[in-house]
Structure 1
Amino acid sequence: MNNETVKQVTIKELYDLTETAAKPLLESVTYPWEALPKIKDFIIELGNSLDPEEYEKRGENIWIHKSATVFDSAYIAGPCIIGKDTEVRQCAFIRGSALVGDNCVVGNSTELKNVIIFNNVQVPHYNYVGDSILGFHSHMGAGSITSNVKSDKTLVHVKGADFDIATGMKKFGAMLGDYVEVGCNSVLNPGTVIGSHSNIYPLSRVRGYVPSNSIYKDQNDIVTKH
């Protein structure tokens, strides 16, 4: 990775860390993707410190808040934490290393793997979210997914108009800032970083950095919100 800090894609620029239990982990790194290899161990450590009066342990390294709703047909593998008042709906598939915040929706046939989901996030219908971080109040429309491995299996770079950061990572989905809206059936390619308060048009193919407060229509048509 480049030694120079690129402010636009740092944790401080993308996220309000008061809205996630992963705050201690994210404060320990500069770029959000640097937290991805550490999620599993962090969840286990955090889970073992949770109040059993609030969280029920439902299997090896699985902690679910007693106010959360988990449908019988959902599958959850550890390590995993499901926060307060969150819904895990029918046939959701949580493969492990998933830290899901408060007041979230993990919807029907949605798959999660190695993720941090901030509070008030919705991944409600047919979504795949892998090796990714979704910021506070972000939302993925029906059928939108994060692609987390390049087709040629090479290491992922994060690219903007004036920077190229070598992450050294093979598996890297997307980093969504706070209040990001992703339109239905969009694909977020490996290494996508979307700044806070931005909107992605439906059916988009997104790659690289999308600035905050933007509307992404296509790769060559990104406009600033007014």
Structure 2
Amino acid sequence: MPKEALKTARFFSLKGDEPFASWLLQCTYPWESLADLGAWIKAYGATLPSESYTEIAPDIWVAKSANVSDLATLKGPVIVGPDVEIRPGAFIRGNAYIGPNCVVGTASEIKNSLLFGDVEVPHYNYIGDSILSYGTHFGAGAITSNLRSDKKNIKIRYEGEVIETGLRKIGAITAQRVEIGCNAVLGPGTLIGKDSLIYPLTFVRFSLPEKSILKNNGELRLRI
């Protein structure tokens, strides 16, 4: 069945040593983890060694190798991992795990989201209620939309199937090495398979299989 491809264990290529791996894999589908992300961050943050992390404020843990601008705003619970760069004007709005080597840039906002590692949201991006796997890159102005205009629960649409989530807020969930073009909008509850490319100025209305190329005229094809 098509929806089998969206199950957590299949959708992500986890290395196995991620601090969130066992917690995330308890969920049949990735979006099921979003409701408990804040609680997991608090629990894991309390175990982080003081040799490697500093709790700069209650429930805000920052790796000592991270570079966090004094002009950025962080609200807990938040974990900022090793070698992360948080640039001036960035806003981390709680319930956020920013994995190793990520970049969060000027005027970018992260809220209730899990960034695995090597994720870049460097220019005017909004990432809300989302999960971004390794190597995901958002072009300038690209955003996730996490709430339907009618405020109803979000449905996942994938290859003709519809999955009821029971959640009002889900942004986007990307597998590894996904490239999102400038000013693209990922609609509520969109999952994008690995090695996919979204053209600039594209509105993504439905979930995509791996190696997809979606153009802003709606044309969809697969990478060879």
TM-score, length basis structure 2 = 0.96
In structure 1, what is the equivalent of residue 7 of structure 2? 10
SS in 1 for 2:112: strand
Which stretches in structure 1 are left out of the alignment for 5+ residues?
A: none
In structure 2, what is the equivalent of residue 56 of structure 1? 54
CA contact 2:66–2:84 (8 Å) conserved in 1? yes
Which of 190, 214, 217 matches 1:216? 214
% identity of equivalent residues: 43
CA contact 1:183–1:203 (8 Å) conserved in 2? yes
Establish whether residue 148 from structure 1 lines up as the match of residue 146 from structure 2. Answer: yes
In structure 1, what is the equivalent of residue 136 of structure 2? 138
Q: Which amino acid aligns with 1:10?
A: K
C-alpha distance in 2 between matches for 1:195 and 1:136: 12
In structure 2, what is the equivalent of residue 96 of structure 1? 94
In structure 2, what is the equivalent of residue 200 of structure 1? 198
Higher relative contact order (CA 8 A, sep 6+): 1
Moved more, 23-32 or 5-14: 5-14
C-alpha distance in 2 between matches for 1:153 and 1:20: 34
Which of 145, 165, 168 matches 2:166? 168
Displacement after TM superposition at 1:121 (Å):
0.5
Moved more, 14-23 or 168-177: 14-23
C-alpha distance in 1 between matches for 2:57 and 2:41: 14
Displacement after TM superposition at 1:12 (Å):
2.0
C-alpha distance in 1 between matches for 2:121 and 2:18: 16
Displacement after TM superposition at 1:6 (Å):
1.8
Q: Which amino acid aligns with 2:65?
A: S
Displacement after TM superposition at 1:83 (Å):
0.4
C-alpha distance in 1 between matches for 2:115 and 2:13: 12
SS in 1 for 2:40: helix
In structure 1, what is the equivalent of residue 80 of structure 2? 82
- Number of equivalent positions: 223
In structure 2, what is the equivalent of residue 29 of structure 1? 27
Q: Which amino acid aligns with 2:139?
A: G
